[in-house]
Amino acid sequence: MVSVLSKNEEKVLRKIAEMVVITKNELKVFLNDSDSVDVIVNGLIEKKLIAQINPIGSTSFVITQKGSKFLQDLDSF
């Protein structure tokens, strides 16, 4: 099982799950804090809960199967 997520990591993971695909700029607007976006997404990528994709040259993120399962398990508690 993945270690516990920070409040912001969980918030971002849920937003990515809701949006299916989200750009880095959309995450910056969502968090209202562009400095923390890189730290949060890098942590989620390291835990293999999200993946980075680059469609049409823009950095975007998608939730992985592991990330979806993690949220399902979290919601079942």
CATH number of residue 14's parent domain:
1.10.10.10
**43: containing domain:** 7-75
- Amino acid 29: pLDDT: 94
In a domain, 2, yes or no: no
The H helix count followed by the E strand count for the chain is 4, 3
In a domain, 23, yes or no: yes
Residue by residue, pLDDT tens for the chain (77 residues) are 556 899 999 999 999 999 999 999 999 999 997 779 999 999 999 999 999 999 888 899 999 999 999 999 998 87
Please report, for residues 10, 54, 70, the alpha-carbon distance to residue 6 in angstroms, rounded to integers and kept in the order given: 6, 26, 14
- Amino acid 56: pLDDT: 81
For residue 53, how many C-alpha atoms fall within 13 Å in the half-sphere facing its CB? Answer: 12
Number of folded domains that form the chain: 1
